[in-house]
Amino acid sequence: MKRFHLALPLLATALFAHVAQAYEPDWKVGRIYYRSICTACHTTAKATIQPIDRTKAEWTAYLLVDKHNKGKDTVSQYFSKQYRDSIKATSKAAAKFADRPEQELAADVKAFIMRSAKDGEAPASCS
């Protein structure tokens, strides 16, 4: 019984450490998704939107407000599984990331945008 009591705190610590680990966004996945999904629409419309067009603060505010298309829809809907399912027949990126959790995909895209913003560590355009 003493062994169980000694092992319990170690087991609990290991379990909570695993659960407490936060998702580490992958800007490379974000770049693929942004360039394949976001840029594809924005270059066919009249407005070309690139990460370098705004600062990190401007992008953060935009993502926080979660308004897209002049408030007609949300930014977050473009990360939804439902949206990816609706375009995966014509989008390799949507098909590739079809099972990725929405929050992770949104974090990946945000990481790419922040890295590539006007004042990011690697300002980039998506041409």
Q: Is residue 16 a part of any domain in this protein?
A: no
Rounded mean pLDDT, 21-45: 85
72 within a domain of the structure (yes/no)? yes
| pLDDT > 90 in the chain, percent | 56
Neighbours of 62 (CB within 10 A): 15
Specify the long-range contacts of residues 75-80, CB closer than 8 Å, at least 24 apart: 76/102, 76/106, 78/37, 78/38, 79/105, 79/106, 79/109
| pLDDT of the residue at 126 | 55
Domains in the chain, number = 1
pLDDT digits (tens, 9 = 90+) for 97-114: 999 999 999 999 999 999
Which structural domain range is residue 48 located in? Answer: 24-116
pLDDT at residue 18 is higher than 50: no
Output the average pLDDT for the chain.
Answer: 82
